[in-house]
Structure 1
Amino acid sequence: MSFYFVQFVTGLASASSLFLVASGLSIIFGVTRVVNFAHGAFYMLGAYIGYTLIDRLGAGVGFWPAIVLSAFGVAAIGTLIEMLLLRRIYDAPELFQLLATFAVALVVEDLALLIWGPSDLLGPRAPGFKGAIDLLGQPFPTYDLLLIALAPLVLALIWLVFRRTTWGVLVRAATQDREMVAALGVNQKWLFTSVFALGVFLAGLGGALELPRQAANHTMDLQVITEALVVVVIGGLGSVPGTFLAAIIVSELNAFGILVFPKISIVLVFLVMAIVLIVRPWGLLGRAEAAARTASGAIISRWRPFGARGRIAVALVVAFAALLPIAAGNYFVGVATEVLIFMLYAASLHFLLAGGGLASFGHAAYFGLGSYGAAIALKSFGLGMETAIVAGIVLGLVGALVFGWFCVRLSGVYFAMLTLAFAQIAWSIAYQWTDVTGGDNGIIGVWPSAWAASPARFYWLTLALSAGSIALLRAITFSPFGYALRALRDSTLRAETIGIERRRVQWMGFVIAGGFAALAGALYAFLKGSVFPDNISISLSIDGLVMVLLGGVGTVSGGVVGAAIYRSLSIWVISHTDYSKLVLGALIIALVVMFPKGLVGAFEAWRSARTGARLQGQSP
């Protein structure tokens, strides 16, 4: 019994650290509506800067000053990033802000590697809290007791600031109605900056305080941002008390999950998040989202099918692509094959995001299910490549049918987070069901049939399937179903008034996107000859969003173009530098600032402006 009590108290200590990070994330989202993917990077910076300051000041005298100074230092860095980058794109669609913070996270991760090196850095014990006490016969670190006391104190301070200060009243007002706050003459820029600084300060403080418990390392950012997002969503976006409650729930699930549910311990918190969102869509203590911009924001334009010139241009591009194996070697053919697969993957997500206004943070689930479905059909059931690809598509469709049925009951960020939860559930099954999936050893020996075994032939097969699928997705976009899906994207209330059933149409759109993503995943399995849990990872889902957003959400073909550029660039950068994340992140930031409509969107805007100017010049 004493062991379980100590385990419970240990969970409370972890909850305190998690609350510091998640509360900052919740505060930032509540006011700015930015889902800050760089929040984990600021947490990591807090740990690294804290380690450096402690080393310079001396652990005996400078530990606590170093902890506080590191939090202020991280807040200063965050403020600078907000002023130079995020302030420029607050009027852009919200997903572009997510893309910008994701790019910041990439840059920070490689900068940390460049400055502090690849080794883990273990901080010293906190002065005055180096020992342990006897807790029901079990030793318990005194530093963990300090953390347990710290979380309620921070919660109380945040409550006082928000309830008893003019600034706090303005922040709460902005959370409810930003437009009204602006109409009253409040300078929203500086309000947003101060809120962002506070949130980043809490993240940096949380990272610095972890030094006596955890070594500073380069995996801290991804690990903590995942858990923080789960906490914020369970508690309710923008609700600090809800974040506090959810941090306790998540930390206790982590503490006891390995003991009580060892088979599903990895995915337990995501199961809980999915259940909470299905039962209470706005989290435990959250409120319904305020009216937000659509996924495409102000860049929604009138979409038109290709005319005669457009069809001829596409046919020429496909014909030119078909000649590539004749002029290029096997390496370039393999790279081109991979780019084609990810063009199809991005096109499927683009159909859902741009066509339906549904931002999925877990689209890699269906890519991965397609990969595993094809691999299992080939290796476990002895089916041929052709039938195995069909099996992969079927498994992806089944996953999209089941997950989509729940997801389309939500909207906005909560829809996105539920897709993430289901993707993590799929990932955990792939990781832990070793008898079928091989676990982290994966499934190897997934090779094409003899007639498609050469790089050139598999490239032609991939080109035919990818080009045909993208053309089919475009045809669906301009079908009556596609118009119904876009009507729901633009105005759900008006669409339902004329008889369009939202859930049914969006569910069908979700399944269609999942099926094409599964085809891409099946082809990827045969290209690489193996399947691993990375095929369902969060990073692959984020890559899909990056491709679509770089191309342009408000366009018909943005996902395809964005994927071609981003994947080609990624492969080239990775092969030429050890700091590929730094280079990619910097390029993404530059593109977001220069082309807030995406590359294709910027080109279409330029062409429309040029056409308008020419017509105006011809008018009498």
Structure 2
Amino acid sequence: MSFYFVQFVTGLASACSLFLVASGLSIIFGVTRVVNFAHGAFYMLGAYIGYTLIDRLSGAVGFWGAIVLAALAVAAIGTLVEMALLRRIYNAPELFQLLATFGVTLVIEDLALLIWGPSDLLGPRAPGFKGAIDLFGQPFPTYDLLLIVLAPLVLALIWLLFRRTTWGVLVRAATQDREMVAALGVNQKWLFTSVFALGIFLAALGGALELPRQPANHTMDLQVITEALVVVVIGGLGSVPGTFLAAIIVSELNAFGILVFPKISIVLVFLVMAIVLVVRPWGLLGRAEAAARTASGALIFRWRPFGARGRVLALFALTVVALLPLVAGNYLIDVATEVLIFMLYAASLNFLLAGGGLVSFGHAAYFGLGSYGAAVGLKTLGLGMETAIPVGILVGLAGALVFGWFCVRLSGVYFAMLTLAFAQIAWSIAYQWTDVTGGDNGIIGVWPSAWASSPPRFFWLTLALSAGGIALLRVITFSPFGYELRALRDSTLRAETIGVERRRVQWMAFVIAGGFAALAGALYAFLKGSVFPDNMSISMSIEGLVMVLLGGVDTVSGGGVGAAIYRSLSIWVISHTDYSKLVLGALIILLVVLFPKGLVGAFEAWRSARAPVRLLEKNP
């Protein structure tokens, strides 16, 4: 019994730093509606800068002074990022802000590698808290006791800040209804900046306080942002007390999951997150979002199916691409094949995002299910490639059918977070079901049939399937079903008034997108000859969003164009520099600032400006 009690107390200690990070993320999202994907990177930066300041200034300011200075330094960096980057794109669609913070994450990761090197950096023990106490016969670190006391203290200070100051009242008001706060004449720019600085300060403080417990390393950002997102969703967006409660729940699940449910320990947290979202979408202590008082005002270009000229140009481009193996070497052919696969993957996500207004943070789940379905069909069931690819599609369709049934019952950010929860459940199953998936060792030896084994022939197969898939998605977009889907995107109330059934239409769209993503995943498995859990990771889902947003979320072809550009740049940069993330991140940030509606969207705007007949229409 004493062991379990100590395990429980250890979970409370872990909840402290998790609460600091998640509370900052919750405050930022609650006010600005920015899904700050860079929050984990600032947490990591707090740990690295904290290590440096402790090493060099501990004699002057002491250990605790260095910790606070590190958090303040990172908060200053975060403030500059908000003022120089995010402030420029607050009027752009909210997803472009996610894209910008993703670029910031890439830049910070490689800057940390450049400055501090690849080795883990373990900080010194905290003065006065270097030992352990006897707790029911079990040794327990005194530093963890400090963290247990610190978390409620920080919660109390945040509560006082929000309840006893004018600034706090404005922040709480903006969390519930930004439109009303703006109508009252509040300067939202500086309110957003101050909230962003506070959130980054809390994240950096959490990272610096972790130094005596774990070393600063280059993987801690992705790990903590995943858990922080889960905590924020379970607790309730914008609710700091809810975040505190959820941090305890998640930390205790992590502490006891491996003991009580070893087979599902990784998936346990995401199962809880999915259940909470289904039962109470706004979280344990959160509130339902206020309905917007005005239309979004987003400009959407009038979508038209290809005319005769467009069909000729598309056929010409397809012919040119098909001739590539006649003049290129095997390496370039493999690169082109990979680009084609990700064009199909991005097009499937674009169908959901642009066509239906459904933001999925977990679209890689169906890409990964397609990969594993094809691999298991080939290696375990003994099927040929010709049959294994349809099996992969069926597995992806089955996953989309089940997950989508729950997801379409929600909308907005709650829909996005539930897709993330289901994607992580799928990833966790792939990671732990070693008898079928091989776990983190993956499945290897997934090679095409003899007739398609050469790079040129597999390229032509991929070109036929990817181009056919993209063309079919376009046909569906301009079908009566596609018009129903877009009607729901533009005005759910009006669409339902004329008889469009929201859940049925969105569920069908979810399944269609999942099926095409699964086809891309199956092709990717045969291209690489292996399948790993990373095929359905969060980073793969975020990359899909990056591709769509770079192309243009308000365009039909933006996903494919964005995928071609992003994937080609990624492969080229990785092959030419050791700091590929730094270059890619800087390029993403530059493109977001210069083309806030995406590359294809910018081209359409330019073309519309030159041809006044092609007018822009507003979302009703």
Question: Could you state the TM-score of these two structures normalised by the residue count of structure 2?
Answer: 0.98
Which residue does the alignment assign to 1:170?
170
Equivalent residue runs for 1:315-464 within 5 Å: 315-464=315-464
Task: Give CA deviations for 1:220-258 in whole Å, capped at 9, x if unaligned.
Answer: 100000000000000011110100000000000000000
Note the residue ranges of structure 1 that are not aligned, 5 or more in a row: 616-620
8 Å contact from structure 2 (residues 46, 207) kept in 1 = yes
In the TM superposition, what are the counterparts of 1:501-520 in structure 2 within 5 Å? 501-520=501-520
Q: Deviations over 1:9-31 (max 9, x none)?
A: 00000001100000000000111
Kindly indicate whether residue 209 of structure 2 is the aligned counterpart of residue 216 of structure 1: no
User: Residues 293, 382 of structure 1: CA spacing in aligned structure 2 closer, same or farther, 3 A cutoff?
Assistant: farther
1:133 maps to 133
Q: Deviations over 1:455-497 (max 9, x none)?
A: 0011000000100110000000000000000111111111111
For 1:238-249, list aligned pairs within 5 A.
238-249=238-249
Q: Partner letter of residue 334 of structure 1?
A: D
Determine if contact 2:179/2:293 at 8 Å carries over to the other structure.
Answer: no
Query: C-alpha distance in 2, partners of 1:474/1:291?
Result: 32
Partner residue in 1 for 2:561:
561
Specify the alignment match of 1:587 in structure 2: 587
Give the C-alpha shift of residue 300 in structure 1: 1.9
**Do 1:93 and 1:295's aligned partners in 2 also have CA atoms closer than 8 Å?**
no
Number of aligned positions between the proteins: 615
| Shift, 1:183, TM fit | 2.1
Equivalent AA in structure 2 for residue 63 of structure 1: F
Q: How far apart are 1:355 and its partner, in Å?
A: 0.5
Of all paired residues, the percent bearing the same amino acid is: 89
Contact 1:94–1:295 (8 Å) recurs in 2? no
SS in 1 for 2:140: strand
Q: Quick one: distance in 2 between partners of 1:294 and 1:224?
A: 36
Dislocated runs of 4+, deviation >6 Å: 293-297
Contact 2:179/2:292, CA 8 A, preserved across alignment: no
One-letter code of the match for 1:339?
Answer: V
Contact 1:60 1:127 in 2 (8 A): no
Aligned partner letter, 2:485: L
Specify the code of the residue in structure 2 equivalent to 1:447.
W
**Residue 613 of structure 1, CA deviation:** 8.9
Match of 1:303 in 2: 303
Change (3 A) 1:337 1:359: same
Q: 1:401 to 1:295 in 2, by over 3 A?
A: farther
2:532 is the alignment partner of 1:532: yes
Residue pair 1:352, 1:359 contacting (<8 A) in 2 also: yes
Aligned equivalents of 1:292, 1:357: Cα separation in 2: 16
Distance verdict in 2 for CA 1:197–1:162, change over 3 Å: same
Whether 1:476 and 2:476 are equivalent positions in the alignment is yes
Where does residue 314 of structure 1 map in the other structure? 314
Which digits, 9 at most, give the CA deviation of each residue in 1:589-620, with x for residues without a partner? 000000000000000000000112999xxxxx
- Tell me what 1:550 maps to: 550
The residue type paired with residue 240 of structure 2 is V
CA pair 106-193 structure 1, distance change in 2 beyond 3 A = same
CA contact (8 A) 1:371 1:523 kept: yes
| 1:530-550: CA deviation from partner (whole Å, max 9, x where unpaired) | 111111111111110000000
Deviation for aligned residue 1:301: 2.3
Residue correspondence of structure 1 range 250-329 to structure 2 within 5 A: 250-291=250-291, 298-329=298-329
**Which residue in 2 is equivalent to 1:235?**
235
**Cα distance in 1 between the residues matched to 2:223 and 2:291:** 31
Contact 1:366/1:521, CA 8 A, preserved across alignment: yes
- Work out the CA distance in 1 between the residues paired with 2:534 and 2:191: 40
The answer (yes or no) to whether the contact 1:322–1:460 under 8 Å persists in 2 is yes
Which letter maps to 1:45? Answer: L
Deviation at 1:294, TM superposition (A): 12
C-alpha deviation, 1:288, in angstroms:
1.4
- Distance apart, 1:567 and its partner CA: 0.3
What's 1:145 paired with? 145
Superimposed CA distance per residue, residues 126-158 of structure 1 (whole angstroms, 9 cap, x where no aligned partner):
001111111111111111111001111111111
**Mapped contact 1:29–1:238 kept (Cα < 8 A):** yes
Go from structure 1 to structure 2 and tell me whether the alpha carbon gap of 1:475 and 1:297 turns closer, same or farther (over 3 Å shift): farther
Flag the 1:143–1:588 CA change in 2: closer, same or farther, 3 A: same
Unaligned runs of 5+ in 2: 616-620
Where 2:459 maps in the other structure, the secondary structure is helix
Q: State the distance in 1 between where 2:57 and 2:340 align.
A: 54
- CA distance in structure 2 between the aligned counterparts of 1:408 and 1:446, rounded to whole angstroms: 34
Cα distance 1:61–1:127, how it changes in 2: closer, same or farther (>3 A)? farther
Contact 1:93 1:297 in 2 (8 A): no
Letter in 2 for 1:20: L
Residue 414 of structure 1: CA displacement? 1.1
Which residue number corresponds to residue 37 of structure 2? 37
Query: C-alpha distance in 1, partners of 2:480/2:287?
Result: 35
Partner amino acid for 1:134? D
TM (normalized to structure 1)?
Answer: 0.98
Deviation of the 1:291 alpha carbon: 3.6
Aligned to 1:71: 71
| Counterpart-to-counterpart distance in 2, 1:401 and 1:319 | 36
Change (3 A) 1:305 1:293: farther
- Distance, in Å, in 1 between the alignment partners of 2:322 and 2:539 is 30
1:30 & 1:58 partners in 2: Cα distance?
36
Structure 2 counterpart of 1:84: 84
Q: What's the CA shift string for 1:428-455, capped at 9, x where partnerless?
A: 1111111111111111111111111110
Q: Which amino acid aligns with 1:366?
A: Y
Given that 1:43 and 1:203 are in contact with CA atoms closer than 8 Å, whether structure 2 keeps it comes out as yes
Aligned mates of 2:288, 2:601 — CA distance in 1: 31
Question: Structure 2 CA distance, aligned partners of 1:318 and 1:373?
Answer: 29
Match of 2:100 in 1: 100
3-state SS in 1 of match to 2:266: coil
Amino acid corresponding to residue 558 of structure 1 in structure 2: G
Give the distance between the partners of 1:114 and 1:296, measured in 2 at CA. Answer: 41
Write out per-residue CA displacement over residues 341-382 of structure 1, whole angstroms, 9 at most, x where no aligned residue: 000000000001110101111111100110111111111111
Cα distance, 1:100–1:18 mapped onto 2, change above 3 Å: same
Residue 618 of structure 2 corresponds to: none
Give the letter for the 1:414 counterpart.
Y
Task: Quote how far apart the aligned CAs of 1:295 are.
Answer: 12
Change (3 A) 1:234 1:614: closer
CA contact 1:94–1:293 (8 Å) conserved in 2: no
- How far does residue 297 in structure 1 lie from its aligned partner after superposition? 6.4
C-alpha displacement at 1:60, in angstroms?
Answer: 9.2
Match of 1:618 in 2: none
Give the letter aligned to residue 248 of structure 2.
Answer: I
